Amino acid sequence: LIDRSIDLQVQMANATRLCATKSMVTVNGQCPGPELVAREGDRVVVRVTNNVAHNITLHWHGIRQVRTGWADGPAYVTQCPIQTGQSYVYNFTVTGQRGTLWWHAHISWLRATVYGPIVILPKPGVPYPFPAPHKELPVVFGEWWTADTEEVVNQAVQTGAGPNVSDAFTINGLPGPLYNCSAQDTFKLKVKPRKTYMLRLINAALNDELFFSVANHTLTVVEVDAVYVKPFTVETLVISPGQTTNVLLAAKPYYPGANFYMSAAPYSTARPGTFDNTTVAGILEYENPMSASAASFVKGLPLFRPTLPQLNDTDFVTNFTNKLRSLATAQYPAAVPQSVDRRFFFTVGLGTLPCPANMTCQGPNGTQMAAAMNNVSFVLPSRALLQSHFTGLSTGVYAPDFPVAPLSPFNYTGTPPNNTNVATGTKLLVLPYNASVELVMQDTSILGIESHPLHLHGFNFFVVGQGFGNYDAVNDPAKFNLVDPVERNTVGVPAGGWVAIRFLADNPGVWFMHCHLEVHTTWGLRMAWLVLDGSQPDQKLLPPPSDLPKC
Ligand code: C2O
């Protein structure tokens, strides 16, 4: 067991993008923040110190945190926030995982500028299940607001309306040449002919699923959410906020000195189409000494642009996600639960709440925008759920009665579809230790057209099925893939459709599940599972560390 000790300072720093300078919350003064590197099996000890005027927590997105829920990080779920001037040590062991994950702030919208990659290397001497790349590097997508993002979200909450959209998408913090005054702020990847590069793609954007492509090159997908997949090759991929995707990019034997755009654009949002000043671009640059004649030939070439799908290209997204399969080999088995102890159906979607008396709401018909699962819009408590559960002081903090079916049944063919009803509450769904769970999530798609990237803390799950329209509980399960479904921690509930996942509840604690579109989380598209301890000592939640912050 190797200990990796890391010291992270949450501090203000200035940055200039799109010709404007702002002061923002960062980790160690960087955005994206530092890359954390560990090996499978290592213990990671991260001391986080809060030097800013905001409360903060950090979350290690996708790390299983087996029995160490205290280190998971979502504010008011597994811990109270780290207050100004305080520190907290996140202590966890990386068990049975290797690949790309990421870390981010998990309170309000601070993850807009507080995020970074996590790279988990395989155990010593264990190779990748594909030829080793010449080089590997994180490629992190983000969003940039010229305004202070805490003001953006506060404004949205106070008006009950949708928040302003960001001013730019970024690659490793850089908007790239298609945006106003950003030519100098362009991510460049220099490659050598004939070499293979592994890009560790991370979508850290707040509110947009993204298409990504590199002109004239293909991408071979080898891993998602730190789980290997059967390799497949595409020209373009889609990645949702929260998700990570490792791809191999093989440089061609020719093109020395030529440049190619790599770019990303949103799948579904209120933004214009591709290749305008809302598209983030980076440059793939072939290094190689050139003869003078080759140099003049290359100089005459245009900068190659990739072809990205149009907005709302749901067929493309379905096609891509259907290609994802677990390796399911002896070395990397797919431990798909073959039988189910608890079966649940959740509706997932947007809705509205009546406008509170002290507000003027700018949502539809003067309402307040909301979002819900099974019609419950989750309200964060003012004391942390895990602490309340552990100490037995849950009264007034949460109720263990999350509805196991929608409060108002949903039917696409109903007239009118009536599932935008929303009630507020702090409700947990209780699972016995080791229950094998099947959850179908049905998008209600009444307001807005986009898929919801649902993220489950504390577990990986298998995506055993997906489809469009109403989920058919009689006929659809027969088509489930229980052999090699993809295993991940964040899945898109398809726009206008459903997705079915299975997981084994073998991790005691309180585990958040929410849409990773930050605006939807803010509106209440979140809930939490309470997984009880097992009967054996090694099936119990460990006691909290002594420095666990208090509310
Ligand atoms: Cu990446 Cu609950 O978050």
For the Cβ of 217 lying below 6 angstroms from any atom of ligand 1, the answer is: no
Task: Give tens-digit pLDDT for 48-69.
Answer: 999 999 999 999 999 999 999 9
For the Cβ of 512 lying below 6 angstroms from any atom of ligand 1, the answer is: yes
The rounded distance, in Å, linking the Cα atoms of 281 and 304 is: 11
Per-residue model confidence (pLDDT) at position 166 = 94
The half-sphere exposure of 264 on its side-chain side, counting CA atoms within 13 A, is 30
Q: Distances from the Cα of 466 to the Cαs of 326, 426, 472, in angstroms?
A: 16, 28, 11
Q: Which atom of ligand 1 is nearest to the CA of 242?
A: 1
Per-residue model confidence (pLDDT) at position 253 = 86
pTM score of the predicted model: 0.97
Residue 298 Cα to ligand 1 midpoint, Å, equals: 44
Per-residue model confidence (pLDDT) at position 278 = 80
The verdict on whether omega for the bond into residue 32 sits within 30 degrees of 0, i.e. cis, is yes
Asked whether the beta carbons of 105 and 114 are under 8 A apart, the reply is yes
Per-residue model confidence (pLDDT) at position 3 = 81
Q: Which CATH class is domain 1-127?
A: mainly beta
Task: Indicate if ipTM > 0.90.
Answer: yes
Task: Give tens-digit pLDDT for 8-28.
Answer: 999 999 999 999 999 999 999
Asked whether the beta carbons of 152 and 163 are under 8 A apart, the reply is yes
The rounded distance, in Å, linking the Cα atoms of 478 and 502 is: 15
Extents of the domains making up the chain: 1-127, 130-326, 342-539
Per-residue model confidence (pLDDT) at position 277 = 77
Q: Which atom of ligand 1 is nearest to the CA of 514?
A: 2
Q: Which atom of ligand 1 is nearest to the CA of 512?
A: 2
Neighbours of 251 (CB within 10 A): 19
Who's near 510: CB < 8 A, 6+ residues apart? 69, 77, 78, 385, 386, 389, 428, 528, 529, 530, 531
Residue 484 Cα to ligand 1 midpoint, Å, equals: 25
Ranges of the chain with pLDDT below 50: none
The rounded distance, in Å, linking the Cα atoms of 336 and 486 is: 10
Residue 373 Cα to ligand 1 midpoint, Å, equals: 17
Is 342-539 assigned to CATH 2.30.30.60?
A: no
Per-residue model confidence (pLDDT) at position 393 = 93
Q: Which atom of ligand 1 is nearest to the CA of 73?
A: 2
Per-residue model confidence (pLDDT) at position 242 = 98
For the Cβ of 111 lying below 6 angstroms from any atom of ligand 1, the answer is: no
Report which protein residue has its CA nearest ligand 1's atom 3: 61
Q: Which CATH class is domain 130-326?
A: mainly beta
For the Cβ of 242 lying below 6 angstroms from any atom of ligand 1, the answer is: yes
For the Cβ of 62 lying below 6 angstroms from any atom of ligand 1, the answer is: no
pLDDT > 70: percent of the chain: 95
Residue 63 Cα to ligand 1 midpoint, Å, equals: 11
